[in-house]
Structure 1
């Protein structure tokens, strides 16, 4: 099912929208100070070249939708929504710790339910990734279960064949959530 295009001002100065291949220069700038694997999936660590960024956005468009949280032409955080309703996120180093990932994740979870018609969204987080766990919890996601040996391990942009455990967090606004008193977005 193709997802609708997102383009919304979510707070004064912050815009959440679908990223396309024409946004490659924004990814180049956003990854300029990154040394760890940036974003998600089969990609090089930052910084990206213009070709890396364009290729990533083009390849991602086949299996997921990429979104950005922007302040004007500055990319503050990125998000991916995969066909099976998994959400992933990344914040450029200069913008970490400012709540941008939380703001965008809350918006995307709500948008996925209300605009895209997805009944449930979830996150796969590597145990020990404390910053990501804090983002998930602050955005209203709740721990669901440990998926042992579930997540593939990437090295140098390639799958290694090995897997690691993942903590699965689900959106508290999901239609399938049964926990009473879950906070709305």
Structure 2
């Protein structure tokens, strides 16, 4: 594909997809690792939780569907469309999910999303996972800017973003459709230099 830009891409194509998806250690014995087929029951259980369902309208319906998602996640990495990690305790017990999506290598921008299983909430799992992924994405992968958005009604996610150093940049009015109607969305971001 020919690029019609006057500037080189921030990240060269092939840098991520040409290597295995990394393991990313986080504080407190957490490890971000690629999803494994054995994680399907834990992943599916997250979407049985009312709070997770409140904020995530795309939901797998069965373990077979979760395995299809995991296969798509592996393809996303190879095609450099995204990266999806399980947030685990020492690589074993699944505590949550974190992802980079919408990878834009030309401008060096990606979007972050996450959830945490009910039993792991309130212990800083999302904040530590987000901090580790942010450091990896900005310092090692070479992204310049990471964005995340969440419903203005999702105060827990806003707290995670703020604690991880993502500045609130504004509100996107009526930007997402949830089960209970349209929601305004907060936009947070971190950049390499701030």
TM-score category by the smaller chain? 0.7 to 0.9
Correspondences of 1:25-104 after superposition (within 5 Å): 25-28=41-44, 30-31=45-46, 34-35=49-50, 36-37=52-53, 40=56, 42-44=58-60, 49-61=62-74, 62=76, 63-72=81-90, 73-84=92-103, 85-104=110-129
Aligned-residue offset at 1:118: 1.0
Structure 2 contact 24–136 (Cα < 8 Å) conserved: no
Correspondences of 1:111-122 after superposition (within 5 Å): 111-122=136-147
1:139/1:59 CA distance change after superposition, 3 Å? same
Distance 2:165 2:70 in 1: 28
Report runs of 4+ in structure 1 exceeding 4 Å deviation: 38-41
Q: Look up the match of 1:131.
A: 156
1:8 maps to 2:27: no
Structure 1 contact 9–15 (Cα < 8 Å) conserved: yes
Between structure 1 and structure 2, the one with the greater Rg is 2
Residue by residue over 1:88-139, the C-alpha shift from the partner in whole angstroms, topping out at 9 and shown as x without a partner, is 1100011110100000001111111122211100111111211111111111
Larger RCO, structure (CA 8 Å, separation 6 or more): 2
1:89/1:103 CA distance change after superposition, 3 Å? same
Residue by residue over 1:61-113, the C-alpha shift from the partner in whole angstroms, topping out at 9 and shown as x without a partner, is 53432112211421112111102411011000111101000000011111111
The size of the alignment, in residue pairs, is 165
User: Which stretches in structure 2 are left out of the alignment for 5+ residues?
Assistant: 1-12, 104-109
Aligned-residue offset at 1:14: 1.8
1:64/1:41 CA distance change after superposition, 3 Å? farther
User: Which stretches in structure 1 are left out of the alignment for 5+ residues?
Assistant: 178-185
Distance 1:59 1:31 in 2: 18
